Structure 1
C-alpha cells in the first residue's frame, strides 16, 4: 500500500471570522498550545455581519429555557464576557435592563419570565408601575422587572481581541468556493482567488452561509438558513433613555421585539423589527440576490413559517415600510418619542436555521461529520456566550483531530 503524505497548512481550518469563529480559534490555541489554526474570512476585517450589526447587549439569559444551551451559555458567558472586556480594556458597562409590560395580557408572560429568571439563577426585581420611573423616568408600563446582570459592550472590539490573542493565522478576503474532504486525509479548501488551504479538520462558523459550507463539505445539515433583517433607528434625544428597555417577548416567535438600547458610546439604538431579507446579506429592500432568494423560496420550511406566523409577519412588514407604525411600537414603551426623533441606522441580518417542517431552530445547533464540525445555528445570545460556545466547538474539533 502506498502511503499518501499531505502537506497540511494547519491542523484546524476555521471558516468564518465572526465572533464565534474567532472564539473557537482562541479556545483551540488556549486548550492545546501549538495547534496550528487558520481562519478564512471573506470580508476585509472581522465581525462584519451578525457580530457587528446588533444591539451590543450582553444578555443575562432570562429568556431561555432552563437547561438549554442558550440558558447555560448566556448565564455563564455573560459574566465571562464582562471579565474578558475588563481584562483587555474593551468598552463595556453592566447597565441592567427593564422588561416592561404595557398591556394586561402581557402580565402573565412577565411573571413567567420572573420564574424563568429565578430557575436560571438570575437576580430579578419585580416592579409596579410607579417604580419603573426609578430606572427610566420616561418609560411607561403596567409592571416591569429589572434584570441587574445585563450589560453592553463593543463586540467588534471583542472579536478583534480574540483574533489577536488566539495567535491564529487570519486570512481576510478569503471567500470559500469549494471544499474537498477526504476522511482519510483531511480537507482542502479553495478560495475565490484560487488559493488552496489544507487542514486536518474543518470548523464551519460561516454564519449566514453555514448551511452552504456544510453542503460543500458533503454533509447534509437538514436545515436551511432563512435570513431575517432587523431594522434599527438611532434616537436623536438619547436623554430619554438611561439604559436598556425591552417589551415582554411573544414566546411563539423567536425575536424579542423593538427595544431601546443605550450603547457604550452613549447613543440609543431603537429596534429591531424582523422581516424576511431578500438576500443573505440583504441589509435593505434594494438588496436582492436571485439565487439566494430562490433557495429560500424552494425550502419547504419557508412556506410553513409564512403560514404559521403570517399575522406576526404582517405587523413586522408594516413597521418596515411605515416609519409611523414603527414609532407607534416604540411609543408603547416611550410615549414621548416623536417620528422626527428617529433616524435610520444600519440594519442587521439574522441567520435563522429553519427545519423542513418550518420549525425555527431556537437553540444552538452544532453537528459533526467526518473531519468537520458545523455550527449551524448561533442565534442571540451567541455574541454574549461566544467564549463558552467557542470552547464547546473547540472541544469537538480537537476530538475530531485526535481521532483522525
Structure 2
C-alpha cells in the first residue's frame, strides 16, 4: 500500500510529488498519469511564461503563490541547469478608454509587491520598437521557459528520491475504504492511504469518483495560436500584452517570444467541445453533453455573449485575429503568421455561472483535490505543491526529511 497516490502527471501533480518527498522521509509515493509522457495536456501546450502575478487579486492564492512561484521557479532552474530568460514584458493601452484600466492594473501590481513601472509610449517603443500605444506598464520579473523540461526534472527527482512513477495508467474507479482508497486503473490496482487529485482537465470527474463534490465543473476553453514567420520575429523582442478586459477571464491575444526564439501570437479563447480538444473539429459526446446540460455554463455564456461571439469570430477568421494583433503592432500582416499549436484551459465554473477565479483546492477525508489550476499554475507549481501538502493531516507514521531542492 502507498502512503500517497497522485492522479495526474502534469506540472502540479509532479510538483506535489516533490513536495511530499521533501516533507516525509519514508513515505511511499506514486504518481499515475494516463498519457505516455509527462505534462502532455495543459502544461505541454501552454505559452511557457514565468508569470509575475500582476493580474491577480491581492491576497488570493493566485497572487501569493504566483509571486513566490516565480522566484522559486527561477531558483529551481538555476540549480538544475534549465534554460530560462527573465526578459520582462510590457502591457500597453492602445485606446483612451484603456488608460484607467491600465492604472488599476499598475496599482494592483504594486499591491502585490511587484516592481512595476508606468512608462510612456516613447519608453514602450524603446523596449518594443514596433508597438503602437498610448502608454504602458513595464513588468521586469516576467520570463520565458520550457515547462516540459521542468516537468521532466520534477519526475527525475521524484524517482531519485524513491517515488514510483507510472505512465499509461488511467484511473477508472476510486473505491473508498476504511484505510484509504483503492484505485482501479488500466495498469492494475493501486491502494493508498491518501489520495491527491491533480487531474487537470478531468479533476472534477476524479473528485466525484472519490465521492467528493467540488461545487464546480470544468469547462474547457481552447486557446489558438499563430506563429510569426522567422523573417518577422524581429517585430517582437520580449512579451507584449494588451490591457485585459476586467469583466472577461482571459488576457486577450498577445505576443510571446518563446525560449526557442520563436514568437507566438494569441491565444483567443473559444469553447471546446472536447476536454482534450486541440483542433476545431474535435468533438466528444460525453464532454459536449456535460457542457450543454450544465446550468452554470449557460449562466456564464449569458454574461459574456458579446465577448464569446468575438472569440468565435477570431477562431474562424484569420483576418479578425490579425486585426486584434494589429492593435499592438500595426505592421503585422496576415502573411506574416502561420498556425501553430493550440492549448485547452481547464476552467472551473460554479453552478451560478461564476468562474472560479482562484486556485481551488478541496479537502476531504483522506484526500485533497486540486479542482482549478489554470494559468499561472505552471509558474506557481512548486508553491502549489507545498500548499497542497500543508492541507494533508500529519500522518503519525511519517517523519519529515530535509528539502530535496537543497534550500
Q: Is the counterpart of residue 219 in structure 1 residue 205 in structure 2?
A: no
Deviation of 1:20 after TM superposition, in Å, equals 0.2
Q: Is the counterpart of residue 155 in structure 1 residue 147 in structure 2?
A: yes
Which position in structure 1 is the counterpart of 2:60? 68
Q: Is the counterpart of residue 96 in structure 1 residue 91 in structure 2?
A: no
Distance in structure 2 (CA, Å) of the matches to 1:402 and 1:238: 56
Distance in structure 1 (CA, Å) of the matches to 2:343 and 2:330: 26
Distance in structure 1 (CA, Å) of the matches to 2:4 and 2:196: 7
Match of 2:202 among 202, 209, 213: 209
Aligned counterparts, 1:343-358, within 5 A: 343-358=338-353
Aligned residues of 1:93 and 1:152 also touching (Cα < 8 A): yes
- The two structures have a TM-score, normalised by structure 2, of 0.95
Q: Is the counterpart of residue 374 in structure 1 residue 369 in structure 2?
A: yes
- The two structures have a TM-score, normalised by structure 1, of 0.96
Which position in structure 1 is the counterpart of 2:401? none
Aligned residues of 1:351 and 1:377 also touching (Cα < 8 A): yes
Q: Closer, same or farther in 2 for the Cα pair 1:309/1:317, shift >3 Å?
A: same
Distance in structure 2 (CA, Å) of the matches to 1:305 and 1:400: 39
Please provide the CA RMSD for this pair: 1.2
Aligned counterparts, 1:158-237, within 5 A: 158-167=150-159, 168-182=163-177, 184-193=178-187, 195-236=188-229, 237=232
Could you give the per-residue CA deviations for residues 311-355 of structure 1, whole angstroms, max 9, x where no partner exists? 000000000000010000000001111101111111000000000
Unaligned runs of 5+ in 2: 399-407
For residue 52 of structure 1, give the secondary structure of its aligned residue in structure 2.
Answer: helix
Report how many residues are paired.
393
Unaligned runs of 5+ in 1: 1-7
Which position in structure 1 is the counterpart of 2:296? 301
Distance in structure 2 (CA, Å) of the matches to 1:280 and 1:31: 34
For residue 105 of structure 2, give the secondary structure of its aligned residue in structure 1.
Answer: helix
Which position in structure 2 is the counterpart of 1:130? 122
Which position in structure 2 is the counterpart of 1:5? none
Match of 1:50 among 35, 38, 42: 42
Deviation of 1:144 after TM superposition, in Å, equals 0.5
Deviation of 1:91 after TM superposition, in Å, equals 1.4
Distance in structure 2 (CA, Å) of the matches to 1:34 and 1:333: 53
Aligned residues of 1:61 and 1:75 also touching (Cα < 8 A): yes
Q: Closer, same or farther in 2 for the Cα pair 1:403/1:106, shift >3 Å?
A: farther
Distance in structure 1 (CA, Å) of the matches to 2:151 and 2:244: 28
